[in-house]
Amino acid sequence: MGSGRSVIIGDTGTSSERTARLPVHLLLTLAVGMAIVFLFAYFTRDTEAAVGFGYGMIATLVLAAACEVIVRRRFESVTRIGLVLILAFYVLGPAVAAIPILGLRSVTDFSAAYFEMSSALTTTGASIFWNVDDVPESIILWRSMLSGFGGLVCLVSALAILAPLSIGGFEVEHMIDRRAQTMTYAFLCASEGARTRGMEARVVWALRLLLVPYLVILLLCAFALAADGVRPFEAICLALGSISTTGFTPTASGVAGYRSVVTEVVLVLVMIPAAIGVSAHVDSMRDGLRSYRKNPELRYMIIAVFVVISILFLRHWVGAIETQSTDELRGAFAALWGSFFMAISFITTTGFESAAWDGATEWSGLKTPGVALLGLAIVGGGAASTAGGVKLIRAALLAKHSMGELRRLARPSSVQPIFSGGRAVTFDALSIVWVFVMLYAITVAACALALTATGLKFVDAFAGSVAAISNTGPLLQLITGEEGGYTAYSPGARFLLCGAMVVGRMETLAVVALCSVSAWRR
């Protein structure tokens, strides 16, 4: 650890048998979640849901037992076993999670159940339930619990699996000013050392590090919402949807239906830390709150939100002048808060809608400017966070590099290094950023074309593709403005979107790493 070099390692030193038991632990966790929802359905006298979750719990326990038997046999891991386990979780996990709701009247077929569960575990927030008020509360609670669980898995896998492989946003951090030893994996695991730590030990370490703060923020959010008058059940669901940046709401009217600025302030205070990269929170445990001031992604988020708010607020103001609206001052404050909440909501890829957003639109007489929010969702939050998108660090480096190339047109021989957070950025980091952005654009285009083959219009296909890959499910309604959302999508289109959600959550670089031949060597 004192060599001054970034540690970029695989799963060296992993005990194959102990690593293979991670799926068993995940299945047992899902079974415990089903048991909680079973008790909730039983005490709320929802017999149909209670039976479904009871059978689902039994089936999951049987699967866990079968998996345990398989693990006891000879097991050989591949080089990228961590990525394989993440992929298996996002592909097979929704199928297991869908077992309890397959027989319920609210679920039409397997594609609908799988889509809803995949959306929850990948923290996307896309839903086939157009009118949530008609859906049993047991299903609402189950998908909210899955979204919270998916957010925690995302953070743990970022530290335990993606960081040592230098992907998932860490590939940029590992190549920024290497001599300064910034954000090395050895620093994250300095207590025991990265090279001697197996993958299961890293997972346990990351879980111990993140679980308590995650639950504390979740409970504080739920209590604050309940204190503002939100029903306890809805407060828990909203807290789970905000801390995981999923955007699921327990009512059809969403956050706007509560008509409370206090509720929206509480959600903002949860969405922002949830969308900041987990490395910033790890740094704060050593350096205190001043580490957030030095974090470049937080500054990039503030700049992006400020620019969008300025554009939207000025647009609203011009629209109000043209329509000669009265009571401009009160409407101006509504427009300002609505723009701020929506900017935070979409840059964190949550997708909550403010009650003041409609008021701001009425004040100006303008159509909702969804394109600006679309751009924020594509940019996304911090690297190694529950937010999706390209990520702030990559977008900022891409913008700085582009401006530098434009300046070089006037002075071709000039040498102008690029800095991020006061640290020099290597050429390798910029190259990776360009590769990622190209892969991201290609993936969006390929997914949109594949969706058009299922019979969707191009606008709907493009909106669905961006919403799935950026893990911002509510973005579809914002772009198209059509009722029905994902309910009208065919089973083939839903499965395609599920694949896009997984790619967006794992990120294209991780998928490319899985496709390499070396990843599958014994």
Tens-binned pLDDT, residue by residue, of the chain (522 aa): 333 333 333 443 444 445 567 888 899 999 999 999 999 999 999 999 999 999 999 999 999 998 887 766 544 444 567 888 899 999 999 999 999 998 787 787 899 999 999 999 999 999 988 788 888 999 999 999 999 999 999 999 888 888 877 777 776 665 554 443 433 444 444 333 344 467 778 888 889 889 999 999 999 999 999 999 999 999 999 999 999 999 999 998 899 899 899 999 999 999 999 998 887 887 777 777 777 877 888 888 998 889 888 877 776 666 666 655 555 666 677 778 888 999 999 999 999 999 888 766 666 555 656 777 888 999 988 888 899 899 988 888 888 888 888 887 877 776 777 777 667 777 777 888 888 889 999 999 999 999 999 988 888 899 999 999 999 999 888 887 777 678 888 999 999 999 999 999 988 888 887 776 665 554
- Residue type present at position 22: L
Same domain, 313 and 370: yes
Listed residues 256, 281, 306: the one ending a domain:
281
Same domain, 461 and 314: no
- Among residues 27, 109, 107, the alpha carbon closest in space to that of 65 is found at 27
Residue 368 lies in a domain: yes
Residue 98 lies in a domain: yes
Same domain, 113 and 254: yes
Residue 79 lies in a domain: yes
Same domain, 264 and 307: no
- Residue 477's domain spans which residues? 428-520
Residue 400 lies in a domain: no
Distance from C-alpha of 496 to C-alpha of 468, rounded to nearest angstrom: 9
Residue 121 lies in a domain: yes
Query: H-type helices in 244-369, by residue range?
Result: 261-275, 278-287, 290-294, 296-323, 328-347, 355-364
Same domain, 153 and 246: yes
Listed residues 257, 281, 305: the one ending a domain:
281
Same domain, 432 and 365: no
216-225 as b/e: b if 16+ CB within 10 A: ebbeebbebb
Same domain, 261 and 294: no
Same domain, 354 and 276: no
Q: What per-residue confidence (pLDDT) applies to 373?
A: 84
Q: Which residues pair with 419 in a beta bridge?
A: 424
Residue 67 lies in a domain: yes
Same domain, 266 and 345: no
Same domain, 232 and 341: no
What 3-state class would DSSP assign to 21?
coil
Listed residues 281, 299, 320: the one ending a domain:
281
Residue 158 lies in a domain: yes
Same domain, 226 and 337: no
- Among residues 26, 15, 158, the alpha carbon closest in space to that of 89 is found at 26
Q: Look at the chain and report how many structural domains it folds into.
A: 3
- Residue type present at position 101: I
Same domain, 213 and 173: yes
Residue 256 lies in a domain: yes
